[in-house]
Amino acid sequence: MKILVCISNVPDTTSKINFTDGDTKFDSNGVQFVINPNDEFGLTRAMWFKEKQGASVHVATVGGPTTEPTIRKALAIGADEAFRVNAEPTDGFFVAEQLAEVVKNGNYDLVIAGRESIDYNGGMVPGILATLLDMNFVNTCIGLEIDGTNATAMREIDGGKEKLTTSLPLVIGGQKGLVEESDLRIPNMRGIMMARKKALTVIEPINASAATADTKFEKPAAKGAVKLVDNVDDLVNLLHNEAKAI
């Protein structure tokens, strides 16, 4: 089984978000970039398929040279080979088109991407990718078993979960639940050393245009001070009469 894990290079979850150039760009100054958490759960599940079922695991990202430390981390965690499509990931449609080309050329059976990236929250790359390639697709995937070409997936739904049967070739939009938080791996020194020798192939992008463009950013309005109360009578009263929330 050949697996491609799609990785997005995103600001660490603790990052404070600021904008620059007249609020038209994200300010990456002083921001630590990491593997998108939803992708990392998928990568870790892919490692399980590698170790238990002999799968080969490649990773791909769409981004400039500054994304390479993040890709090397994926290699250090255990991916065999990496691809970087040398283009700014301008929007989800553009990224899906670039990744579709990588998938076609690599004949992958299973493509694992995160449900959404935690920066732009588009949540569309896996679904558009699957549609462009006419592959099966399961979103918000919280469990995946593969047996031959048959797949059983668990999906998170509003208020519960759903079990689905499907088959390879398959694209999933993964998230926490694919593996547990405690299963995530911190690369060890040997992994980091080996990652330096693994192939990281830079691919030039295919001709595709973005379907959307972010033209301006803003931060949420500052919050007024909290109103502290010292008893539940006052709280219920305020929630009813002032906030009109109950």
Partner 1 sequence: MSVLVYTESENGKFKKNAFEVASYAKAVADELGTSVTAISINADENESLGNYGVSKVLNVSNENLNTFNAKAFANAISEAATSEGASAIILSSSTDTKFLAPIVAGKLKAGYVPNVVAAPESTSPFTVKRSAFSNKGFAQTQINTDIKVVGVSNNAFGAHENTTTASVEAFNPAISDADFSTKSVEVDKVVGKATIADADIVVSGGRGLKGPENWGMIEELADVLGAATACSKPVSDLGWRPHGEHVGQTGKPVASNLYIAIGISGAIQHLAGVSSSKVKVVINTDPEAPFFKAADYGIVGDAFEVIPQLIEKLKEFKAQNA
**Residues in 116-145 at the binding interface with partner 1, rule: CB under 8 A:** 118-132, 136-140, 142
Contact 171, 129 (CB under 8 A): yes
Whichever of 63 and 174 has its CB closer to partner 1, that residue is 174
Query: 104: buried, middle or exposed (CB in 10 Å: 19+, 13-18, 0-12)?
Result: exposed
Nearer to partner 1, 37 or 63 (CB): 37
232 binds partner 1 (CB under 8 A): yes
Beta strands at 150-157 and 136-147: parallel, antiparallel or unpaired: antiparallel
Beta pairing, strands 81-85 & 200-203: parallel
Does the footprint of partner 1 cover residue 68 (CB under 8 A)? Answer: no
- Asked whether position 197 contacts partner 1 by CB under 8 A, the answer is no
Q: Does 216 bind partner 1 (CB under 8 A)?
A: yes
In the complex, least distance from residue 189 CB atom to partner 1, rounded to whole angstroms: 26
CA–CA distances in Å: residue 167 to residues 36, 157, 184, 224: 26, 20, 26, 52
Candidates 59-67, 70-78, 165-173, 199-207; binding stretch for partner 1 (CB under 8 A): 165-173
Instruction: Dump the DSSP string for 153-174.
Output: EEEEETTEEEEEEEESSEEEEE
Residues from 9 through 38 that contact partner 1 (CB under 8 A): 11, 13-14, 16-17, 19, 26, 37-38
Footprint of partner 1 on residues 82-101 (CB under 8 A)? 91-93, 96
